[in-house]
Structure 1
């Protein structure tokens, strides 16, 4: 396992591991049909940036090798246990998504969910994803994004910006991630916007898609 430069906050790191461990199934039910579409037919080895506690393991076939890029150490125990239950071979890397340490052109598929909202620089992460994907490889993503200007949801995202980011380790509700993925240099990007109806209103405007290297 490689040492990461990510600094785990003693309280928030453990809180987020517990939060997503408990509420992960509820969140997954909300976005399942979108994940089923973009995570269909994944190859036998998959790279996941921000693997967390293993919310996406259910979309991997038993026997799949998951190279999990996850710098938050409190997530690791739950992730490893979930991979064991699902029959997924876990290759856990304690690194940040900006610097995976993987060889260029080595990945057939990279996946993420609710990760690009949290990283310090989504553009740098997307450049790293492009670097490690082989030609023809895919980046499959499910992310939450900024609501349209002038909407009630957008106002709530602005009002809750600071407490939301503090609680969820830097998570931003105000990024136009569709534009960032489209502008990241992929050969083709297919993305759909949709809205959830959940109590977590700042989180309810989302996108799901596939970008092709």
Structure 2
């Protein structure tokens, strides 16, 4: 792999933020999961034997896979890997861990039945490019299943807070943006069909509380 290709596929882990985020999601994961579980149960139901996950993190979605299945985990943040491996081992899931960014999975075109993500498209450098990559690797009829947090409606208190906290939030959470219209990007990404359900959480993390869940069909 050339130096340029390495730059495109690798993620530069910050010495403080990388370990902090791994610890934060390891600690707060059960709290966040409790709020997201009803929506994840719907969109992550009946997953096939092999699943590709973008930004698998510390393994929050591993419990939705059946024991004995395979998770191809695209996770460039190395401090997350230890907890992700432990989560897969506890569930009896075979882990194929790839230290790559979601824009460049390295997977063959039309080779995947299902791609999943949760709380990832807010953080990637270019969500449009990630969605193009998802479409590239999905087989016809395959699904992209997602639970993501998004910008609140303009003029609402939540939207005002998202804007006010934009920079410290992004610095703390590895570039995470609370201001992306991911529903619009998904609908414009060229999928055959996109089903989206907006919903709101009620947590102390107010900028994070506006969410969408759904399935896009290749």
Which TM-score tier does this pair reach, normalised by the shorter chain?
over 0.9
- The equivalent residue for 2:60 is 55
How many correspondences in the alignment? 212
Tell me by how many angstroms 1:135 deviates: 0.3
- The equivalent residue for 1:121 is 126
Matches within 5 A, 1:151-162: 151-162=156-167
Q: Deviations over 1:192-212 (max 9, x none)?
A: 000000000000000000000
- SS in structure 1 of the partner of residue 16 of structure 2: helix
Structure 1 ranges of 4+ moved more than 4 A: none
- The equivalent residue for 1:37 is 42
**Distance across 2 between alignment mates of 1:182 and 1:63:** 34
**Distance across 2 between alignment mates of 1:39 and 1:113:** 10
**Distance across 1 between alignment mates of 2:174 and 2:87:** 23
**Distance across 1 between alignment mates of 2:173 and 2:97:** 22
- The equivalent residue for 1:194 is 199
**Distance across 2 between alignment mates of 1:89 and 1:172:** 31
- The equivalent residue for 1:135 is 140
Gaps of 5+ in 1: none
- The equivalent residue for 1:99 is 104
Gaps of 5+ in 2: none
- The equivalent residue for 1:16 is 21
Query: TM-score scaled to structure 1, two decimals?
Result: 0.98
**Distance across 2 between alignment mates of 1:5 and 1:144:** 24
**Distance across 2 between alignment mates of 1:67 and 1:182:** 25
- SS in structure 2 of the partner of residue 137 of structure 1: strand
Tell me by how many angstroms 1:74 deviates: 0.3
What is the root-mean-square deviation of aligned Cα atoms in Å? 1.0
**Distance across 2 between alignment mates of 1:18 and 1:88:** 22
